[in-house]
Amino acid sequence: MQIITSAENLKNFVALAREKKSTIAFVPTMGALHDGHMSLVDIARDQADVVVVSIFVNPLQFGANEDFDKYPRTLQSDAELLAARDVDVLFAPSVEDVYPNGQQVLEHAGAVGETFEGASRPGHFDGMLTVVARLFDVVKPDFAVFGAKDAQQLFLIKQMVASERTTNPQRWHALQIIEGVTVREPDGLARSSRNRYLSDEEHRAALTLSAAMRAAATTTGNASVRIQAAAQLLAAEPQVRLDYVALVDSSSFEAVDDSFSGQALLLIAAKVGNTRLIDNLSITI
């Protein structure tokens, strides 16, 4: 596995791969890798000749009171995990290399980016889309793999790529976005780099999130009834401070009303101790 820290060097690697007619799959991450990330790497390995994984903690997607400085940075152990998965390139750039012209927000998430996670973390999705677009321009992948756990992020990335195809069809003309299923710990907690912040007691409390999703899925009734079932379970756990629980149409990411029937996506965000967790589940109403 090559470790490349310069965007220019990565572009040179990609150019050589293209000369050999190799296809490229890309997995962007912020590091602190776990089994969820590895599942995305495995999908990438199955899809393409060459796999590129990036590790970059993006300052543009962290708010003033968020955990950018303490976000776990474990590059050496991450590199060992990726090498064992036959990754071809680990791209680990500096902030200056990703943003050579300064940290400017160049992509905007629009109305959907101001709801749910966007309402709780203003500017987060603009920063996320900006770095993803920059990485796509450097790597020029045929496939990019993202986890389903970050459902709103995935929706907005797909929306950005579709919009760019309309306005600038040559930019990412070959790119396919692939969704990887949420990987869970044996007790049901969704894998997350932030899980390492949880104490044993907080980890136990965090299981309420998956229990609440199951309650919403198995309750009979309309959207409001199902949301209430989830919210009641979350409210009963004193260590869980609910941010939101909602049901959305996955095709538009708009909240569904009580007349809705069919497949909807249940979203949950909550703080357990000082750790903010998100999760989601597709349910049938």
Using the predicted structure, report yes or no on whether residue 254 has a pLDDT greater than 90: yes
Q: Which residues are catalytic?
A: 37
108 three-state secondary structure: coil
Alpha carbons 51 and 267: distance in angstroms, whole number = 31
CATH class of 193-280: alpha beta
Q: What is the pLDDT of residues 174-228, one digit of tens each?
A: 899 999 999 999 999 999 999 999 999 999 999 999 999 999 999 999 999 999 9
CATH no., domain 2-180 = 3.40.50.620
User: For position 70, what pLDDT does the model report?
Assistant: 84
201 three-state secondary structure: helix
Instruction: Name the pLDDT band for 66 (thresholds 50, 70, 90).
Output: confident
The pTM for the full model equals 0.96
Q: Are 212 and 242 in contact (CB under 8 A)?
A: no
Distance of CA 124 to the CA centre of its chain: 12
Instruction: Name the pLDDT band for 26 (thresholds 50, 70, 90).
Output: very high
Structural domain boundaries in the chain: 2-180, 193-280
Using the predicted structure, report yes or no on whether residue 65 has a pLDDT greater than 80: no
Which structure tokens are listed for 262?
A: 């069919």
Q: Are 151 and 116 in contact (CB under 8 A)?
A: no
Q: What is the pLDDT of residues 139-158, one digit of tens each?
A: 999 999 999 999 999 999 99
Q: What is the pLDDT of residues 106-116, one digit of tens each?
A: 999 999 999 99
Q: Does 2-180 match 193-280 in CATH topology?
A: no
SS3 letters across 136-153: HHHHCCCEEEEECCCHHH
